[in-house]
Amino acid sequence: MGLHKFRPVPSGRMGMLWTLASIRNSALLEFGCMGHMLYGRVFLNRAGVVDACRLYSTHIDETDIALGDTARLSSAVADIAQRDKPRILFFLPSAVPEIIGTDIPALCRELQPAYPDMRLFPFSNGGFDISQYHGVQETLLYLVQTLPHEVPKTPLPTFNLIGSCADLFRFQADAEEIARILQGAFRLTPLCVMTSAASVEQIEQMGGAHINLVFRREGLPAAEHLQKQFGTPYLLGRPYGIRGTCEWIEQVAQITGITPDRAYVNEQRDEALRLISPSLPSFRHLREQPENGRLSVGGHADVVKGILAFACGELFLPKGICWCDSPDMADEEIPYFTEEQWTQAMESQENGLFMASGEALKWAGRNRELQIANPDTAWRLNPYEPPFTGFRGALHLASLWINEALWQQ
């Protein structure tokens, strides 16, 4: 691993942790160093994940490593079963046991008969061979492969939201906006918001949904598996902007066969347009002065593309320097930037609108209200902050951009 002024690309283990940590009625045990879980817990608390999966670490010392001793792990399992009585105990790997070849799945098979009321689920890939987003993808897929039961479709239409995880910035607000729109337009209610507002029981019932909404590309393999097992159709996409949200609603209608409430959709669209309309002359002025109105965006590739579609496709803001934070998601439109590349990009433009991680904005002395990605620099105690997706997200983004442009004048 090279030297970094900020953070390197997180490992797959971190993606697994950020995906599992919000599942209620479960516990998670790491066979590894105590400090890993302590730092992970700090991030989760600051991101707004509280009172969900119970997080534990065994600690590990020289004797465990040299002799392959797993007594700490067996003792921790017994203590968790007695103390918390979770439905499921996830085993999170760490680098050292993976390197020395500790067979966690075999140990789980050995221990499982002693805990008939608590299922033991081991995960692999605890080293640095996969990235954060790959870890999220593998975890989502593993969960839908192992937990959902064979259940009938719910009497009233329901949906699953796949990919709302704690590693995405403002994940709770975006999920709530999606649920609000679907309730108003289709009377669709959430069966499982996976995983930011999910319980073990809700994941078990995912097969009863009428549509799976995939909130990020990492959830696509999970949706494909659910379609194969339960016949549930899916839609991949994040709705940004006013026109973009209306198009997304039409896609949901086409897949589900449910006619949306046109009065509700028109009301939401017209209200958003009415509230944005006074600022449109100022946005036209920004287009005439691209050095001040140019929008540069860095973060998760799906978030970057969605924000650009609204900003450049509906408000016609000039596109600046844009990048994603994962080499696995890079393409010609949104390349991956290393730490050196994004710092140079932010230094190269004195003016314009920048949306990136809280860490990057703080370092560059930019307005941290325009944060769209992690790493964060603040506590997120309020899950009711305005979203970025949907109709209300369009209003929020437009307000951020116009006020930032005014501040720079």
- Rounded (5°) CA angle 337-340-344: 90
pLDDT at residue number 172: 96
What single letter denotes the amino acid at residue 209?
A: A
- Return d(Cα 262, Cα 58) in angstroms, integer: 55
Q: Are strands 119-122 and 158-164 parallel, antiparallel or unpaired?
A: unpaired
Q: Global pTM? A: 0.94
CA distances (Å), origin 71, targets 35, 55, 110, 113, 120:
20, 19, 13, 17, 16
pLDDT at residue number 51: 87
Shared fold status for 12-130 and 139-237: yes
Residue spans per domain, the chain: 12-130, 139-237, 273-408
- Return d(Cα 161, Cα 45) in angstroms, integer: 22
Class of 12-130 in CATH: alpha beta
Is the predicted pLDDT of residue 390 greater than 70, yes or no?
yes
The CATH code of the domain at 273-408 is 3.40.50.1980
Is the predicted pLDDT of residue 178 greater than 90, yes or no?
yes
pLDDT at residue number 289: 81
**What confidence category does residue 95 fall into, taking pLDDT thresholds of 50, 70 and 90?**
low
Q: How confident is the model over 58-69, as a mean pLDDT?
A: 64
Q: How confident is the model over 20-27, as a mean pLDDT?
A: 97
- Return d(Cα 180, Cα 301) in angstroms, integer: 24
- Return d(Cα 209, Cα 160) in angstroms, integer: 6
**What confidence category does residue 234 fall into, taking pLDDT thresholds of 50, 70 and 90?**
very high
For 117-130, write each residue's pLDDT tens digit.
Answer: 999 999 876 455 68
**What confidence category does residue 409 fall into, taking pLDDT thresholds of 50, 70 and 90?**
confident
Q: How confident is the model over 71-94, as a mean pLDDT?
A: 91
Across all residues in the chain, what is the average pLDDT? Answer: 91
pLDDT at residue number 65: 57
Topology (CATH) of 139-237: Rossmann fold (3.40.50)
Q: How confident is the model over 372-391, as a mean pLDDT?
A: 95
pLDDT at residue number 72: 82
pLDDT cut 90: percent of the chain above it: 77
pLDDT at residue number 256: 97
pLDDT cut 70: percent of the chain above it: 93
Nearest to residue 213, comparing CAs of 261, 243, 245?
A: 245
